[in-house]
Amino acid sequence: MARRRVRAREAGVCITCFKVRPERERLICRECRSAATARTNRRRAKKREFAQPAAIAASHERRGDEAYARHLYADAAACYREAVNVAGAAPDMQLRITEKLAKALALGADPAAAKTLLERVLAVHRENSIESAKTVEILLQQARQVFAESGMPEAFPLAAQALQIAKLLGDARLCKLAGVRIASYLYGLARYEEAHEHLAATRLDCEDGDRPARSMYHMVKGNLCAAYGEAAEAFDHYERAVRLAEDEGDLYHLGRVWIGYASVALSLGDIGLSDSCCERALALAQRYDLTLLLPDMNLSHADVLMRAGRYDVALERLRDALARGVQAPFLVGAALAEFGIPLALHVNDERTLTECVRPHAIELAFRSEMPTTIAPVAAAFAQLYASRGRFRAARELLHRALRAVNRLTQRIDFPVAVARYGSRRDVPSARRLLERLVVLPNSNVAQAQLALFDAYVARRNGDVPAMRRGAADAAARYDRLGWHGYAATARAPETAPDPITVEKFVALPSNR
């Protein structure tokens, strides 16, 4: 082509068509120049056609980013959705915005839609390359999402897969983040030794790693310290987790840290600190409209208030949670049973009780394989069954739960439920669960529960003096803890037994 153009110039003809002689001092003829101009105009028009959707999508994305930065997740999701729906935007831009939309929806009113979007984004990244940092991040986000909806069986494999890919990539940051997430799941399964090993493998300390990994690290460490009765260490780790979560800016995680802190404080006997943590979590969720977290936060606070004997405020929290609906079936469904059923029974609110009773919560709890979920859900439904005269169902449920619960932590009402409603052959095993706790430091809650446990067992055995001594001991211990609601319950077998006390239960021939 170059040689042809040289020859055309020498011959004085057009160097494009090689036929027509161009105008004087020109190398290209009029027709070829017109064709070139037309091609340029078409190319520029095409660029403008593609640039216009990209500019529109980018504008919506910027507005979404601004709303997300101000924690206005519903507004952010609306902007991101408009950006995604712009026809003609580049695929990589749509993929990036879709991921942002999923994050906004997960913190807003439609977490189910977030799960679907995350699956779509993950599929695209896997088509490009399964061994990518973005794949690991999406897997961990997806694990957090599905855990709230269906529990451990679906979340754990996602986190394990994320850790495996992070190791293949040699990405130390992602390895630590995935390792800490797995450690938190192992804690939920009451596999404390394995959780310790995973935390040690992350090699995280107070100065290492990024904020999300460090915050979760201290949260899990705090839970493990609380499980062994180490109150000062547990509180110190949670204080660090709170500070890191606040700096991180992930409000979902910060809310979870406050709720975890509240549970740990309650289990270690500091009901005032637990109440304060719940109040902070609720204020955070209400300020930023964290729809996914509000029901669980209301229920956690209702539990603290009920133990303190503040039943009127606790009932308000419970009704608020019910009014908002269940956005996370596993977490909120289990919490409704655990906290809602005992409270509704105590205040004799049949309508609220009906809304709290979700039979699928039992199977979700057992499917989770988490003792911290199985035990309280089983205890709550056993109380419900006994209140309806279904004592055989209560016994069978507690027996099934006892086979799945190898150790207790935080909320430990389950053994007392076995003492009240369980089979006689299950009573020794249930007592051993409490015996493992009372030997630990800061075991005031476990000691009070054990005294109440023995009072109910004495009642079943017809030993009234022992029942009275145990009930008085339990009531005094609960009062010192500030658990005035439980103190009143502890006095019930001696002063004014309610219609679902063990006295009625042991009278049944089927319990022999």
What is the spatial distance between Cα 330 and Cα 327, in angstroms, rounded to a whole number?
Answer: 9
Average pLDDT across each block of 10 residues of the chain; the chain has 512 residues. List them in order.
81 85 84 90 74 80 89 87 81 86 77 78 72 83 79 84 89 88 91 91 66 89 95 96 88 90 95 96 86 85 95 95 73 84 94 89 89 94 94 96 89 92 95 95 95 93 91 95 93 48 38 32
Token digits of residue 63: 């507005």
Buried b (16+ CB within 10 A) or exposed e, 131-142: eeebbbbbbbbb
What is the spatial distance between Cα 172 and Cα 139, in angstroms, rounded to a whole number?
Answer: 16
The pLDDT of residue 288 is: 82
Give the N- to C-terminal CA distance of the chain in Å, as an integer: 104
What is the spatial distance between Cα 458 and Cα 455, in angstroms, rounded to a whole number?
Answer: 5
Are 377 and 361 spatial neighbours (Cβ–Cβ below 8 Å)? yes
What DSSP assignment string belongs to 40-59? Answer: HHHHHHHHHHHHHHHHHHHH
The pLDDT of residue 109 is: 61
The pLDDT of residue 496 is: 33
Are 486 and 448 spatial neighbours (Cβ–Cβ below 8 Å)? yes
Confidence (pTM): 0.80
Q: Which residue has the tokens 């001991």?
A: 473
Torsion of CA 308, 312, 318, 321, to 10 degrees: -120
The pLDDT of residue 327 is: 59
What is the spatial distance between Cα 15 and Cα 416, in angstroms, rounded to a whole number?
Answer: 98
Token digits of residue 264: 């740990």
Residue 375, classified by CB atoms within 10 Å of its CB into exposed (0-12), middle (13-18) or buried (19+), is buried
Query: Count of CB atoms within 10 A of residue 191's CB?
Result: 17
Q: Of 111, 82, 108, which is closest to residue 94 (Cα–Cα)?
A: 82
Token digits of residue 350: 């049949």
Query: What domains can you pick out in the chain, each with its CATH number?
Result: 31-106 (1.20.58), 359-512 (1.25.40)
What is the spatial distance between Cα 399 and Cα 187, in angstroms, rounded to a whole number?
Answer: 23
196 backbone φψ class: left, alpha, beta (φ>0; ψ -120 to 50): alpha
Element housing 352 (H / E): helix 350-356
